[in-house]
Structure 1
Amino acid sequence: MSDTDLSAYKRSAALTALDYVKDGMVLGLGTGSTAKEFIMALGTKVAAGMKLRGVSTSRETATLADRSGIVLLDDNDHWPIDVAVDGADQVDPSFNLIKGGGGALLKEKIVAVSAKQFIVLIDYTKRVPFLGKTFPLPIEVISFGWRNTARAIEALTRSRVVLREQAGAPFRTESGNLIVDTHMARIDNPRELDAALHHIPGIVETGLFIDCADVLIVGTPQGVETYHATRP
């Protein structure tokens, strides 16, 4: 499977997501390669006269949205987000997600839960029978005492915890925090794990997105598949 093929599947999922966008909407704009495809596709709608406003989850996304003609709301506004659209690093059969590979998980989660509808775009390789194993769980932590926080995460998960680095230095989120990637063989109960992790002082947010996704759009070699979450 080539990167070109995967890019095409992401693009097809992004184009399908345009069906959920209506004139005058406020959109939550995710971060990463699949979200980028969606934002660029939105640019064609804006160029054709559609009026859209957006909430950005990263500086990278803000720059791309500006180039695409999308007016961004201020970070400190109260956002009436109609639809948020983002990618995911893993999705299990219950629509639980791992996100944070790009390091924007905190802002992404704030935007996702603030939206009336959250749409997740992936290529088919991101669908997994269970979370973990092939992708570590990103956890955003404050820098103060981060080694103690990492040790507590290791004790809870019985897994290897690695500080994320970039260009030989600790990776910093846009909020100035660190990310530790937790390499777990299998996450059997994402909801329980997420709750337990939030009891550890120093953890800002986890990359587990539980009961967030309303629509899953998957680009596959056979075409685009769309699924809707069913909840009580």
Structure 2
Amino acid sequence: MSPPFAVLAVLAACLCGVPLLVVCSDHLNYRPIIGVLAQENIVGDPHAQGSSYIAASYVKYLESAGARVVPIRIHQTDEEYEKIFHSINGLLLPGGDVDLETSQFSRLSKIFYDLAIKANDASDYFPIWGTCQGLQQMTVLTSNKNLLTLTDTKAVALPLTFTPASQNSRLFKTFPGSLLQSLSEDNITSNFHSWSLSLQVLSDDVSKHT
């Protein structure tokens, strides 16, 4: 798989909603070990404790599905991160508010992103899930530039727009039809974004790499 297609494959996996479930020797692993990246605290935040954090909500979210969670700290060596990569089954890039190009969170994301592409090219399945900032970070890593658009969609409930590919995606292909209908017709998904990825901008960028 060529590099442009490889990075887009990883991004497509996230966009299509790959669940954090690992296939190993035709047996499902219901207790996968999932890494969660830490990120810098915002400078001047009066509530910040320490230099970095991982929101407890992501840990509880993964553990509620049966996963075992490994925190991945910032300011470690590349060798340490590679060792961690080979000890976990998947990665979650959480939401937040750091610089997507210069932060330690961005540096860590790129290390694991590149390792995931290498592993997937070798048929070693390694899923990465990006939530909010995490997905935004993946778009920056894929395109090598920031494609985000200021939308200020904070505290807004919206329906989802499903692409034809979603019907066969790992996440949605087993969803009940009634739930998919509600998700696509009713304002039931919460959005708290200052920045978003425009479908038009994404399509234009993809066309440049194909």
**More helix per residue:** 2
What TM-score range do you get, normalising by the shorter chain? Answer: 0.3 to 0.5
TM-score, normalising length: structure 2? 0.32
TM-score, normalising length: structure 1? 0.30
